[in-house]
Amino acid sequence: MRMVDIIEKKRDGKAVTKEEIDFFVEGYVDGKIPDYQISSLMMAIYFNSMDDDEATHLTEAVLNSGDIIDLSAIEGIKVDKHSTGGVGDKTTLVLGPLVASCGAKFAKLSGRGLGHTGGTLDKLESIPGFNVSLSNEDFVKQVNDLNIAVAGQTAKLAPADKLLYALRDVTGTVPSIPLIAASIMSKKLASGADVIVLDVKIGEGAFMKTLEDARELSRIMVKIGKNFGKKVTAFITDMSQPLGYAVGNKLEVVEAIQTLQGNGPEDLQKLCTEIGSYLVHNAGLSETLKQAREMVEKKYGTLEASDLFKEMVKAQKGEYPDLNDFIHNETLIAVKSEKEGYVKSLNALDIGLSAMRLGAGRETKDDTIDTDVGIVLNKKVGDKVEKDEVLAYVYNNKDDITDEVKTILNAFDITEEYVEKPSLIVEIVE
């Protein structure tokens, strides 16, 4: 078998076989196939795509390139969720304790943030002492004991994905839908969950810009998951504006805790409730989806989920935060509206990039995060605004952020006409 023949086949729009996919994935991981040939193949896939069988075979090859986590020692059905990344997306911090308090086994391996999207591990590590580097034995024990553990992915999990993504990132082939699907699903399948909900974001602050692309990505990932015997559901959700109000690591931890206590933003609570109901129901813990939703909703009022988050923090060596003395920053700047009206749009990408430049995120993998900085929105799409009313607060530790204040102000488009509040959940793909 020759690599050039595989490249030519895909260049000409033909499907490649499982054996050919195994050949180039194994060869690339082993260093036998050079970057320039894989780059050529990735570009051919970008232009000619892959059918469902090819995408499934690629997922399997990437999955088998490294360790597959054995969670069989966890009693019960394991559930997990994955988000394609967004601004202010602290869903895992709320969702995990919610479903775990309903009896689901929430066993999650998470990643770090890069660019304008935040990472769950960075948010959790903003809690002093919180340990995300759990051994497999400790991870399994904690899920058995508490129904929940959130830890970092190991380097041995789907190593082919890391190699392929790094190459795609510098060759302009990241947006290929089957390549995205295989990348996401290989890691989810390697993580060992039985039930998976995928949160596919669309809009300015998301990787997927159109509903058509989000639908296709969701459809392929659900199909791949079912081909592997998993229960998979995809939510397509709006990321044209940030999720919730807080953007920044400690700020998002605070908002997550407030949400678990029943005092969080309506959009965040709604999303966690809906995703949670699918996880609980598909884990066999309710007879109907409606019953599962009722189970999840009750957890806000009883504080069971909030207490479980506290237990998880303690189990992973963290110091549960005093919300009144958790965030330390030099200045708090109010960004005020220059006119009255209604918020017509709020550019999530601009807010996310501004938070990153303040220090809340990484522009490169080696950047250091300032966990105390970020942005807290005071207004969102559909809200009425008066002249000189605060649109957002900037938590800052830098000397001069004049440019960032302008960016945040310009992220708000304010119009005289009344604006309806947008729907967060666009579609659900099963």
pLDDT in tens, 54-95: 999 999 999 999 888 889 999 999 999 999 888 999 999 999
Q: Which of 112, 187, 188, 201 is catalytic?
A: 187
Catalytic residue list contains 168? yes
Active site residue 325: no
Per the structure block, which two tokens stand in for 379?
């207004």
**Range of the structural domain that residue 124 is part of:** 78-315
Contact 140, 17 (CB under 8 A): no
Q: Which of 273, 288, 315 is the last residue of a domain?
A: 315
Q: Is residue 57 part of a domain?
A: no
3-state secondary structure of 417: coil
The CATH number of residue 237's host domain is 3.40.1030.10
Spot the catalytic one: 105, 168, 201, 362: 168
From the list 223, 200, 222, the residue with the least C-alpha distance to 212 is: 200
User: How far apart (Å, rounded) are the C-alpha atoms in residues 339 and 414?
Assistant: 8
Q: Are residues 354 and 300 in the same domain?
A: no
CA distance 115 to 192: 28
- Same domain? 309 vs 335: no
pLDDT of residue 312: 98
Residue 425 lies in a domain: no
Q: Output the domain CATH number for residue 12.
A: 1.20.970.10
**Same structural domain, 27 and 84:** no
Coil, helix or strand at residue 346: strand
Per DSSP, the three-state class of 395 is strand
> What total number of domains does the chain contain?
3
**Residue 307, domain member (yes or no):** yes
Annotated active-site residue in 40, 101, 183, 337? 183
Q: Are residues 240 and 370 in the same domain?
A: no
Q: Are residues 247 and 150 in the same domain?
A: yes
In contact, 397 and 154? CB cutoff 8 Å: no
CATH number of the structural domain spanning residue 352:
3.90.1170.30
Q: Same structural domain for residues 87 and 29? A: no
Task: Give one DSSP letter per residue of 167-232, joined into a string.
Answer: HHHTTT-TT-HHHHHHHHHHHHHHTT-SEEEEEEEESTTSSB-SHHHHHHHHHHHHHHHHHTT-EE
DSSP letter assigned to residue 114: B
Residues 170 and 228 placed together within one structural domain of the fold = yes
Say yes or no: 165 and 103 in one domain. Answer: yes
219 in active site: no
The CB density around residue 430, as the number of other CB atoms within 10 Å, is 11
Partners of residue 107 on adjacent β-strands: 149
Q: How far is CA 390 from CA 240, 267, 333, 336, 386, in A?
A: 20, 20, 10, 4, 9
In whole angstroms, what is the distance from residue 425 CA to residue 430 CA?
14
427, part of any domain: no
- pLDDT < 50 stretches in the chain: none
Indicate whether 321 belongs to any domain.
Answer: no
**426 class by beta-carbon count within 10 Å (0-12 exposed, 13-18 middle, 19+ buried):** middle
Residue 114: per-residue pLDDT: 65
Residue 374's alpha-carbon distances to 29, 378, 401, in angstroms, are 39, 13, 12
Both structure tokens of 366: 């080696």
* Beta carbons of 407 and 350 less than 8 angstroms apart: yes
**The predicted structure's pLDDT at residue 43:** 97
Instruction: Among 254, 280, 315, identify where a domain stops.
Output: 315
pLDDT of 408 reads: 98
pLDDT score, position 209: 87
Whether residue 147 sits in one domain with residue 35: no
Q: Please check whether residues 246 and 373 belong to one and the same domain.
A: no
Q: How far apart are CA 361 and CA 369, in angstroms?
A: 6
d(CA 149, CA 139): 6
Q: How far apart are the first and last CA of the chain?
A: 38
In a domain, 58, yes or no: no
Check 89, 122, 161, 370 and give the catalytic one: 161
Q: What is the per-residue DSSP string for 377-391?
A: ES--TT-EE-TT-EE
Same domain, 381 and 253: no
The active-site residue out of 57, 81, 82, 188 is: 82
Task: Label residues 270-281 b or e (16+ Cβ within 10 Å = b).
Answer: ebbbbbbbbbbb
**62 found inside a domain:** no
Contact (CB, 8 A) for 104 and 79: yes
Alpha-carbon distance 40 to 8, whole Å? Answer: 9
Q: What is the pLDDT of residue 329?
A: 85
67 tagged catalytic: no
Known active-site residue 82: yes
Average pLDDT in the chain: 94
Please name the residues in contact with 262: beta carbons below 8 A apart, sequence gap of 6 or more.
300, 301, 303
Residue 326 in any domain: the answer is no
Q: Are residues 287 and 380 in the same domain?
A: no
Q: What is the pLDDT of residue 330?
A: 84
